[in-house]
């Protein structure tokens, strides 16, 4: 059990973080949930995660700010960070890309989107 890879999920909506936690747990991951960017960044600094899922619209520190902060940590330079948003917006996708996001997923989640993501992650 100790060898299960760890994944960080950052979302202030329990509905979404619960879904991701359930999905990722069944895939064999050990999931940590944070509810804003401040908590997410603190978790990323204290643990090593295989990849990170983050919502964008969050209080205190939004997902874009957290993405930038995480990508400045040398340990996370190559870690895939998947941004989650209900907004299918080209400018927002470009912003996430420019700050080093691995993937931009438009909510709602479904298995096809998650399969596509995991194919891209090659895990």
Partner 1 sequence: MLDPGHFEDLLDNLERDVLAIDRTGDTGIVHLLFRTIHNLKSSSAQAGLSALAGDLHSLEDTMDRVRRGKVPWTPACYDQVTRVIDQVRLAIQSENLGADPLPPAEPAAVEPAPEAAMAPAPVPEAPAPGAGRWGRGFSQEAIAACQLAEAVGLGVYRIEKLFSKGLDEDTFLSLPVLEDIRELGKLIAFHPSWQAYSEGPEEQVVSFLFTSPRTETELACILFDPLLVLAEPRTGQPARRKERLRILIIEDDQTTAHLMQYILRQHGEVVVCATAMEGLACFHEALDGGDRFDMVLLDLVLPDLHGDGVLMEIREHEFRLGILDAGARCQVIISTANGNVDQIMLSLQHDPDGYLIKPVNFDLIIEKVADLKAQRLVAPEPDRP
Q: Where does this chain bind partner 1 (CB under 8 A)?
A: 12-13, 15-16, 19, 36-38, 56-57, 59-62, 64-66, 68-69, 86, 95, 107-109
CB of 119 to partner 1, least distance (A): 22
CB of 99 to partner 1, least distance (A): 10
State which residue, 31 or 67, has the beta carbon closest to partner 1: 67
CB of 109 to partner 1, least distance (A): 7
Radius of gyration of the chain (CA): 13
Three-state DSSP state, 18: helix
State which residue, 68 or 93, has the beta carbon closest to partner 1: 68
The answer to whether 34 and 19 are in contact (CB under 8 A) is no
State which residue, 8 or 96, has the beta carbon closest to partner 1: 96
The answer to whether 45 and 19 are in contact (CB under 8 A) is no
CB of 122 to partner 1, least distance (A): 27
State which residue, 74 or 108, has the beta carbon closest to partner 1: 108
Q: What is the largest CA-CA distance in the chain?
A: 41
CA 62/CA 50 separation, integer angstroms: 21
98: phi then psi, degrees, rounded to nearest 5: -65, -25
The residue assigned the tokens 């895990």 is 123
């Amino acid at each position: 059990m100790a060898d299960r890879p760890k994944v960080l999920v950052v979302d202030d909506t329990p509905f979404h973080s619960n879904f991701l936690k359930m999905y990722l747990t069944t895939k064999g991951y050990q999931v940590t949930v944070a509810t804003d960017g401040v908590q997410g960044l603190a978790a990323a600094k204290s643990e090593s995660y295989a990849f990170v899922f983050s919502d964008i619209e969050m209080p205190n520190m939004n997902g874009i700010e957290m993405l930038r902060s995480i990508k400045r940590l040398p340990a996370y330079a190559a870690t895939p960070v998947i941004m989650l948003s209900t907004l299918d917006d080209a400018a927002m996708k470009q912003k996430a890309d420019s700050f080093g996001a691995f993937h931009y997923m438009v909510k709602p989640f479904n298995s096809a989107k998650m399969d596509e993501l995991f194919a891209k992650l090659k895990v």
